[in-house]
Structure 1
Amino acid sequence: MDLISLSDGDNGLRVRVLGRRSPGVPHLHDQLDAEVLITSSFVNGRLGMSLSPTDLEDWSRALALLDAGQDICWRDDDHSPEIRIQPHNEEHETPVVHVEDPGSSCVSVLLPMNLEEGWIDEQRRLLGQVMKEWPSEVLQSSPGVYEWRR
């Protein structure tokens, strides 16, 4: 299931959620395995990543900032692919997505995209589907102590 799906037919970025990392293991149950997929006429790539409930909350906040016309940086932690989005790039006169993998391959890709109106609302819809499919079911009551939500 896609968490992020941006494409103009020539360039594309998808963050695809593959499922729970370790279902039934409380401290890993809410971790989601995912992958970043980049497509363009010049380069195609795939990077594995893990998502936590906090990452999904951060993505929700990032979408609000994009909706307000602000640039965002999501997953800036030196261990995961970093995704930066400019809702309007003056040089390209379009939205621009920049994906960088500082922790592993050190590869960076810039994707200008002619996105259709409503693209931010579509990303909110995708986020809602992911959160419905894989809701947070574990509560960390204190450091290192996990319990099932009731």
Structure 2
Amino acid sequence: MDEATALELIRLADGDQIVSVTLADRVPAWEPGYYAADIVITSSFVNAQLRILVTLEDLDHWAEALDRIEQDELRPAEGGMLTLDWPPAGNDGYLRFIADDPYVVEVHDAPQTRISVSVPLDMGGAWIAEARHRLGVVRGLLGPDA
């Protein structure tokens, strides 16, 4: 990964553990609108990296996910926990957010290995504003279509 062109889209951290998504380059991977990205888990227990593809539509999904989380729509009326997948679960790896205290972020490699890693994160209250800022920076650097 070229440090000069890498863009950190998501950084979920609590001081001890980090789950991040970094676009590997500002240029589409092989097809217009598809960007190579790395999901990276860093902790004292496990360190892992998973290459995925992120689309411009996925950036919109991330903005919508932040809206839902901020509005506390992840908790259904009956009091259970609701989950949110980003990018939407499919043929590639993805993150699953579980609204709990602390948040739990699962990293899924599906369907390749079907391995998943669960990372509890006590992120505090400012993480959503920071996430929106990172998203804005990435969109600005990718251009007007982002």
How high is the TM-score relative to the length of structure 1?
0.78
Return the alpha-carbon distance in structure 2 between the equivalents of residues 39 and 8 of structure 1.
11
Q: Quickly say closer, same or farther: Cα 1:49–1:126, change in 2 above 3 A.
A: same
Unaligned runs of 5+ in 1: 139-150
Q: Which residue pairs with 2:77 in the alignment?
A: none
> Residue 36 of structure 2: which of 12, 33, 38 is its match?
33
Return the alpha-carbon distance in structure 2 between the equivalents of residues 137 and 119 of structure 1.
25
Unaligned runs of 5+ in 2: 1-6, 75-82
Runs of at least 4 residues of structure 1 off by over 6 A? none
Measured on the aligned residues, the alpha-carbon RMSD in Å equals 1.9
> Given that residues 65 and 72 in structure 1 are in contact (C-alpha distance below 8 angstroms), is that contact kept between their aligned partners in structure 2?
no
Q: How many residue pairs were aligned?
A: 130
Q: Which amino acid aligns with 1:77?
A: A
Q: Of Structure 1 and Structure 2, which has the larger fraction of its residues in strand?
A: 1
Q: Which residue pairs with 2:95 in the alignment?
A: 83
Q: Which residue pairs with 1:97 in the alignment?
A: 105
> Given that residues 8 and 114 in structure 1 are in contact (C-alpha distance below 8 angstroms), is that contact kept between their aligned partners in structure 2?
yes
Q: Which residue pairs with 1:143 in the alignment?
A: none
Deviation of residue 78 (structure 1)? 2.6
Kindly provide the CA deviation profile for residues 90-132 of structure 1, in whole angstroms up to 9, marking residues without a partner as x: xxx3111111111212111111111121101111110111100
**1:115 to 2:115 alignment:** no
Q: Which has the larger radius of gyration?
A: 1
**1:5 to 2:11 alignment:** yes
